[in-house]
Chains A and B, each alone.
Chain A
């Protein structure tokens, strides 16, 4: 009987442990990886931070699976309007009021590109879905308020459903989150904002 060659345990264990460590460090969920990749790279001139990726689904990256370091339970972008305007303008200082299934309410405010988010520590133990949402503010001098016609079932990102409507997706999106139904070419957003409140990447169908 031929003797088996001696293989030190470390020769086997080492690569195995390395492979496990590599798997743990990277996201190996192909669906999530594809969703993150589909968002594309950061846009030049808009650094990573509170003003970036307006209109995109925040919790794709800012969720349990990363890759962002911070986690949001709910996040989105409020635009002036309408839902399919060719050049949506993000609206700052809009109150976003959330009421969850337990009756608990939480209000946050949009920044100057219209972005808002709720971190787990902001509203501990909540939201308990479904969630009702109302947005309100005075972006152009007069008070405006909009409430969602339906509730949020479980999506953390507004943009999971609220996308720019095109011929390909019109049947499954109500359009962008917006304050008014009619376009106002005079509304330019907050001109003191460090970032242009008209995010790149939008356009007509």
Chain B
């Protein structure tokens, strides 16, 4: 009786091993194609000049300024370990970029560019779909996290319709409301 059980178990083990090998082989085949070095994802991204607040008048600000003031303290998104890493005058500074310390020296061009890439690079296709009007702004983490629509360690920091919301959504809609951005940083 015991011998029969052993045979049955060996047969089952054999079958499991064969299935696993087959699955591994299939997975290997599926991933074995050579990567195409010319492939790229085209991003219809929101405007960089509006992001950095070029041309902003008194009381106005760019989108970057909003993120710097509201999100980028050194204990939150002003940390190098963050996926959405934000540099700026009042928080993390770009290393070897003039030797600025937090709190000293205005946000630099390098920092604006790094912030822009951080924001766009968080969900490139997601941002594109919002900019192209295919999805609402609330479909991307840039809005979902601060609005509290998905888990955010910093909690809910923006409310639908407030100046910060208006700042981000207008920028994603191709015409940033720099006045709303300015009010949101006060």
Q: Which residues of B in the span 42-97 have a Cβ within 8 Å of any Cβ on A? A: 69, 73-76, 78-80, 90-95
Q: Which residues of B in the span 144-186 have a Cβ within 8 Å of any Cβ on A? A: 153-155, 157
Known: A1-B2, A150-B69, A153-B154. A171 touches B100 (CB 8 A): yes
In the bound complex, CA of A151 to CA of B80 (Å): 19
The B interface is mostly helix, strand or loop, or mixed, namely loop
Centre residue among B74, B94, B95, B100 by max chain A CB count within 10 A: B74
Q: How far is the CB of B66 from chain A (nearest CB, A)?
A: 13
Residue A170 interfacial (CB < 8 Å) = yes
Residue A173 interfacial (CB < 8 Å) = yes
B92 touches A153 (CB 8 A): no
In the bound complex, CA of A1 to CA of B157 (Å): 67
Known: A1-B2, A153-B154, A172-B92. A161 touches B101 (CB 8 A): no
Query: Residues of B contacting A152 with CB < 8 Å?
Result: 73, 75
Which residue on A lies nearest to B100, using beta carbons? A171
B76 touches A153 (CB 8 A): yes
Which residue on A lies nearest to B157, using beta carbons? A130
In the bound complex, CA of A120 to CA of B93 (Å): 33
The A interface is mostly helix, strand or loop, or mixed, namely loop
Interface residues on B, range: 20 to 34
A154 touches B100 (CB 8 A): no
Known: A150-B69, A154-B154. A173 touches B99 (CB 8 A): no
Q: How far is the CB of A168 from chain B (nearest CB, A)?
A: 10
Which residue on B lies nearest to A150, using beta carbons? B90
Q: How far is the CB of A180 from chain B (nearest CB, A)?
A: 15
Q: Type the 1/0 row for A132-159, where 1 means its CB is closer than 8 Å to any CB of B.
A: 0000000000000000011111110000
B154 touches A172 (CB 8 A): no
Residue B133 interfacial (CB < 8 Å) = no
Residue B103 interfacial (CB < 8 Å) = yes
Interface residues on A, range: 10 to 19
Which residue on A lies nearest to B99, using beta carbons? A170
Query: Residues of B contacting A151 with CB < 8 Å?
Result: 73
- Contacts from A to B (Cβ < 8 Å): 1, 129-130, 149-155, 160-161, 165, 170-175
- In the complex, 27 of the A-B residue pairs with CB atoms within 8 angstroms, ordered by the A residue number, are A1-B1, A129-B154, A130-B157, A149-B103, A150-B74, A150-B90, A151-B73, A152-B73, A152-B75, A153-B73, A153-B75, A153-B154, A154-B154, A161-B74, A161-B75, A165-B101, A170-B99, A170-B101, A171-B95, A171-B100, A171-B101, A172-B78, A172-B80, A172-B92, A172-B93, A173-B74, A175-B101
- Contacts from B to A (Cβ < 8 Å): 1-2, 69, 73-76, 78-80, 90-95, 99-103, 153-155, 157
Contacts beyond the supplied A130-B157, A153-B73, A160-B75: 4 A-B pairs with Cβ under 8 Å: A130-B73, A153-B75, A172-B93, A174-B103
A-B pairs, 7 with minimum CB distance: A155-B75, A153-B76, A161-B74, A153-B73, A171-B93, A174-B102, A150-B90
